[in-house]
Amino acid sequence: MSTLIYSHAACSRHDTGPGHPESAARLSAVLEALKGPGFEGLAWREAPEASMEQLTRLHPLDYVERVLAAVPARGHVALDGDTVLSPGSGEAALRAAGAACAAVDAVLGGEARTAFCATRPPGHHAEPAISMGFCMFNNAAVAAFHALAAHGLTRVAVIDFDVHHGNGTQAAFLDRPDCQYLSSHQSPLYPGTGHRSEQGVGNIVNVPLAASSGSAEIRYAWSKQLEPALREFAPELIIVSAGFDAHYMDPLAGLNFTEDDYRWLTRKILAVAADCAGGRVVSMLEGGYNLEALGSCVAVHVQELQGAA
Amino acid sequence: MFEFLQYRVEDVMTPDPVTVTPQTRLRELEALFESHDFNGVPVVGDDHHLLGVVTKYDLLRAFGLSTQSIVPHYDDIMEQTAESVMTADPITVTPDLPLSRLLQLLLDRHNKSFPVTREGRLLGIVAREDVLKALRRATQHGEVGP
């Protein structure tokens, strides 16, 4: 089976303004990497727009309406200091969330075992009723709730290795024993959440990493904390919030992951998926702001997904 | 041989140093650092009353990554005031402090300079370079002396 890649041209029309690090150039770097040699076997899919039903399983209807109503007819509007909208942002956000749901449908429907959503804006900072940190809708959490509600799953895990803590996904899962959220992230750093003591109903596992942490620290954290918790939860589907800003060249953070660390992490996630989730992994792009590093990290991540497909 | 022990802060400090006010913008502060060869500048209020010290480190720190926003808003930060980044109530020294004591303070605190005050009013700045100069002066005699 091929690994599915969900993307859409609309995701490039989410324009955050000159010099903004969460730019359309990020998606170009990702797409260029995935169109290179070795990726001929990928199966490309157009990302559909998420439905209101899918979005409102997580986000209150008035929040969804408010965010979409804030999309300007021209120019830019800032939802907060970080999160900037342009005329194309509404469709991009709907397709980013829609891609995640479609990937869940395809993987649970047996069309593929693994999928990657090459989409933006990212999602993991978006709380049920708060947009922040470049994020409008929480793509990973929307996808998890979709897997539970539309496919009858009972346990879905989201693994988030973005350098920033996914406060939005954590907030979505706080009182949901059917969802597990596992995050490694730099601390202290934006958004300031993700302390070890934040455990939800025993379904949240936060592993804060000090600035300058790299291969040794993340591999130790995975082996001693993240993997055991994930195996104990035994998810039927693993969703990955794949941010690549813990890379040593990223301008917005201070961790020192390498391409090889992302390869290693992806393999480890796939191994758990093979043991308890029928190999089913739906991954989606979150952060990563050094274009060169982003391209090479996505390439190794998808290579591994492909190897397991 | 022991001339250095006779020196006091007032013998080597820079009197009436360049100062800024609490409302000075970081943009102006950066320009000040650009045009002068010092690492920090005293922040003074009315009547030359010392309120704080702001250094290049403080200025850089304002632009560091934080928990407040995912990306620093560089232009906005340049418009912040010295007051928002300064070290308030800094360690000060008096003009009559022996220079040997000041040297020890520089070592213990890792500071590059200290404001010199009397009853809260700024009189000068004394820096590592001033102590080094004094050491050279105090030991030049030793080479030719008894």
| CA–CA dist A66, B98 (Å, integer) | 66
The token pair at B121 is 């009013």
Amino acid in position A176: R
Note the pTM of the prediction, 2 decimals.
0.92
A164 vs B66: CB contact, 8 Å cut-off?
Answer: no
Interface of A with B in 69-88 (CB under 8 A): 80-82
Cα separations (Å) of A178 from A183, A199, A283, A291, B18?
17, 14, 19, 36, 63
How large is the average pLDDT for residues A288-308? Answer: 97
Residue A125 annotated among the catalytic residues of the structure: yes
Q: What percent of chain B has pLDDT over 90?
A: 92
Query: DSSP assignment, residue B47?
Result: G
CA distance B75 to chain A (A): 12
Q: Is pLDDT at B130 greater than 70 in this prediction?
A: yes
B70 vs A133: CB contact, 8 Å cut-off?
Answer: yes
- What was the pLDDT predicted at B25? 98
State pLDDT tens for residues A10-46.
999 999 999 999 999 999 999 999 999 999 999 999 9
CA-atom Rg of chain A in angstroms: 17
B65 vs A254: CB contact, 8 Å cut-off?
Answer: yes
With contact defined as beta carbons under 8 Å apart, do A127 and A99 qualify? no
Cβ contacts of A21 on chain B, cutoff 8 Å? 71
| A177 and B CB contact within 8 Å | no
State pLDDT tens for residues B35-64.
998 899 999 999 999 999 999 999 999 999
The number of domains in chain B is 1
As a whole number, the mean pLDDT across chain A is: 98
B70 vs A191: CB contact, 8 Å cut-off?
Answer: yes
Q: What phi and psi, each to the nearest 5 degrees, are found at residue A58?
A: -115, -55
Tell me which of B61, B69, B71, B73 to substitute to probe the interface with A (most A C-beta atoms closer than 10 Å).
B71
- What was the pLDDT predicted at A169? 99
Residue with tokens 């998810």: A235
Which residue range(s) make up the domain with B86? 3-144
Cβ contacts of A191 on chain B, cutoff 8 Å? 67, 70
- What was the pLDDT predicted at B145? 38
Name which of A133, A134, A252 is nearest B65 (Cβ-Cβ). Answer: A252
Domain A4-308's class?
Answer: alpha beta
Residue with tokens 């320009």: B31
| CA–CA dist A93, A122 (Å, integer) | 8
pLDDT class of A201 with cuts at 50, 70, 90: very high
A190 vs B73: CB contact, 8 Å cut-off?
Answer: no
Q: Residue B58 belongs to a domain with what CATH number? A: 3.10.580.10
CA distance A150 to chain B (A): 34
Residue with tokens 């995912």: B70
Contacts of A273 (CB under 8 A, 6+ apart): A238, A279, A280, A281, A308
How large is the average pLDDT for residues A55-72? Answer: 98
Interface of B with A in 58-97 (CB under 8 A): 65-71, 73
Bridge partner residues of B50 (DSSP): B44
B73 vs A125: CB contact, 8 Å cut-off?
Answer: no
With contact defined as beta carbons under 8 Å apart, do A164 and A287 qualify? yes
Candidate list A125, A146, A165, A247, residue with the active-site label: A125
